[in-house]
Structure 1
Amino acid sequence: MKNFAIIVFAALLLNACTQKKDYDASGNFEADEVIVSAQQSGILNSYDVKEGDQLKKGDKVGQIDVKVIELQKQQTEARIAALNEKTISPSDQVELVRRQLEVQKSQLAQQLREKNRTENLVKADAATRKQLDDINSSIDQLKKQIAVTKQQLKLNTYNTNTQNRSILSERAQMEKLVAQLQEQINKGQIINPITGTVLTNYALQGEMQVVGKPLYKIANIATLSLKAYVSGRQLPQIKLGQQVTVRIDDGKGGYKEYPGTITWISAKSEFTPKSIQTKDERPNLVYAIKVNVKNDGILKIGMYGEVILSK
């Protein structure tokens, strides 16, 4: 009887050892997790994030205090407004010089007419030569004044434009500073980057935050990836976009199956992870693959799953 029991046990053990697995690869479910960090330093004035929350991309979930930066921006904007008042309109100053030039030209024209008249009088011995010389001297003086006024007109235009360019250049720098300050103000808002579920929360309202400090971890678990491993012998049987079957334990002694799609195949082999079993009884080198599976709410990150390449 004892020998019979030993034989039965040995037969069962041999059968278990020689029985082939009915799946082709196995692994664990994972998701692309994003850790959202503070992009500004300050007190966390408002914060509405809880583990398990469903957040949409673009949702504002918190605000870091940026009052000091806002004051700096207002101060810079006030300086820009003051610079605008310092700019000079070229037309105002140039017009004054231009009017002076017109007066001088009018005086010159009058003196030229007087010269002609005096020359005729000198010929008729009705005027002295000295009177003509005085008129010629006055004409020469007016021509010099007109030349100086014309030069002054050019210089005034140039100086005004140069002064305005200097002011406008300074204003451009300040406007860039305002844009930088606005960007820092914007970074005080905590904007959720992806649609997904909050996995872990690290922060509380009222805490002091610094740039780079993690606030929460979020992942889109509507679709999970099963990272499994196949042997080199199985590699020719798979390709990107291939439809496969993924299954998990249903908790009742059976399996729950899902359709899956192979979305990634590793380009290099690696040693078999200790926690992974393969169809070829743990070969030394395996290739990782990822199978995307639509989540019905039952699949969880880290859960074990199996891949069946063909049924």
Structure 2
Amino acid sequence: MKTKLYLYAVLLTIGISGCNLNDHLSDASGTFEVDEVIVSSEVSGKIISLDLEEGMVLKKNSVVGFIDPVPLELQKAQVEATIHSLHQKTMDVRPQVQMLRDQIAILKTQLANAIQERSRTERLIKADAATTKQLDDWNIQVDVLRKQITVNEQQIKVQETTTGTQNSTVLSEDKPLRKSVAQIDDQLKRTHITNPVNGTVLTKYAMAGEVTSPGKALYKIGDLSMITLRAYITGKQIGQVRLNQRVKVLIDSTSSTYRNYTGIITWISDKAEFTPKTIQTKDERANLVYAMKIHVKNDGYLKIGMYGEVKFK
């Protein structure tokens, strides 16, 4: 009450009449801030170009610079050469198998002839025109030829199985190496420095010619077209506000006038905190206050860190 009486006295002293004191008293106050995004390097290398300056407005997904891709390109070429060499390490079993099959065909022909001669010898023995020893010799030859055919057929299976296993072991490295190529391709794409959001460059941390590494900050950007006023209210006032409520936001224009804006309350904290030292609430005796965020469309006059006041009605 004493504060209001004192302000009335001051206004009357300087000759202001017909002025409502409540027009100069805000319900809450705070400072303007913006959601900032720090854009960092995703790969290591020398920065070839970084075409941006502080205050420059950038569009989302625009390419603003490049990091030297040559080391990654050489790494990719090395992995691709290793993949190519894998196929040279594999064995082609087909010539050996074909040779064994040709031998089998010859043995089968010899077997057929031996069986035929054995049958002829059996007829001659019945006619007392041949001896049993001749028949025994043909039986032995038939058995030998059959065993040779069996051995060759087993060799084919062994060759196919062994070579297939060896080739599978060699070619098992192909898939991991191709994954490495895909990974390098992804890193090559990241050598393009792509701006992630629409906004204004707030701070530039790196220059062309510098060597960067993953996670190293390149620049900071924020969308200044819609700026946020973080204001504080007391526990008594929290019942006067709600989400999506329209409020009046005031900033100093001159020593005696304000610039007015319309804001929308987008967030109200559900937990109380101690009053920041830089904030003056309507009830200066309040120790605990609630934070809230008010989105205000920026016409270019609103700046980060600027002090603002809020009127609920």
Task: Decide: shared fold, TM above 0.5.
Answer: yes
- Residues in 1 aligned to 2:242 and 2:98: alpha-carbon distance in whole angstroms: 81
- Identify the residue that residue 141 of structure 2 maps to in structure 1: 138
Deviation at 1:92, TM superposition (A): 4.8
Deviations 1:243-277 (A, max 9, x none): 33323233373333333222222231110011112
User: 2:142 is matched by which residue type in structure 1?
Assistant: I
Residues 272, 282 of structure 1: 8 Å contact kept:
no
Which amino acid counterpart does residue 67 of structure 1 have in structure 2? V
Q: Does 1:198 align with 2:201?
A: yes
The aligned residue for residue 114 of structure 1 is 117
Aligned residue in 1 for 2:176: 173
Distance 1:294 1:11 in 2: 32
Task: State the partner residue of 2:81.
Answer: 78
Instruction: Out of 266-275 and 33-42, give the one that drifted further.
Output: 33-42
Deviations 1:39-60 (A, max 9, x none): 3333222221111111122222
In structure 1, distance between residues paired with 2:240 and 2:93: 80
Match of 2:257 in 1: 254
Q: 2:154 aligns with which of 151, 156, 174?
A: 151
Partner of 2:31: 28
Q: Does 2:182 correspond to 1:182?
A: no
Aligned residue among 97, 104, 116 for 1:101: 104
Aligned length: 301
1:137 is displaced (CA, Å) by 0.9
Deviates more, 1:235-244 or 1:30-39: 235-244
TM-score normalised by the chain length of structure 1: 0.86
Alignment of 1:190-229 (within 5 A): 190-229=193-232
Give the equivalent residue in structure 2 for 1:3.
none
- Counterpart CA distance in 1 for 2:29 and 2:231 is 5
- Give % identity: 52
2:234 alignment partner in structure 1 = 231
What letter matches 2:148 in structure 1? Q
Structure-1 separation of matches of 2:281 and 2:253: 21
Which of residues 6, 10, 22 in structure 2 aligns to 1:13?
A: 6
Kindly provide the CA deviation profile for residues 152-174 of structure 1, in whole angstroms up to 9, marking residues without a partner as x. 11111112221221121122232
Gaps of 5+ in 1: 1-8
Residue 177 of structure 1: how far off its partner (Å): 2.5
Q: 1:250 to 1:163 in 2, by over 3 A?
A: same
Distance 2:3 2:266 in 1: 43
CA distance in 2, matches of 1:69, 1:102: 56
Partner of 1:242: 245
Q: Secondary structure of the residue that 1:278 maps to in structure 2?
A: coil
Partners of 1:111 and 1:294 in 2: CA distance: 104
Q: Is the 8 A contact 1:260 1:292 kept in 2?
A: yes
Does the 8 Å contact 1:231/1:283 carry over to 2? yes
Partner of 2:17: none
Instruction: From the superposition, tell whether residues 129 and 293 of structure 1 become closer, same or farther in structure 2 (CA, over 3 Å).
Output: same
Q: Decide whether aligned partners of structure 1 residues 126 and 237 sit closer, same or farther in structure 2, where only a CA change above 3 A counts.
A: farther
Cα shift at 1:204: 1.8
Counterpart mapping for 1:57-72 below 5 A:
57-72=60-75
Aligned residue number for residue 284 of structure 2: 281
Which ranges of 4 or more aligned residues in structure 1 deviate by more than 4 Å?
A: 9-12, 14-17, 89-93
What is the distance in 2 between the residues matched to 1:11 and 1:32? 37
Per-residue Cα deviation, 1:121-143 (whole angstroms, up to 9, x for no partner): 22222222122111111111122
Corresponding letter in the other structure for 2:236: R
Report deviation, 1:289. Answer: 0.9
Q: Which amino acid aligns with 2:73?
A: E
Q: Report the Cα distance in structure 2 between the residues aligned to 1:241 and 1:107, rounded to whole angstroms.
A: 99
Unaligned 5+ runs, structure 2: 11-20
- Quote the Cα distance in structure 1 between the aligned partners of 2:307 and 2:55: 21
Q: TM-score, normalised by structure 2?
A: 0.86
Name which of 52, 67, 87 aligns with 2:90. Answer: 87
Indicate the SS of the match to 2:168. helix
Letter in 2 for 1:46: S
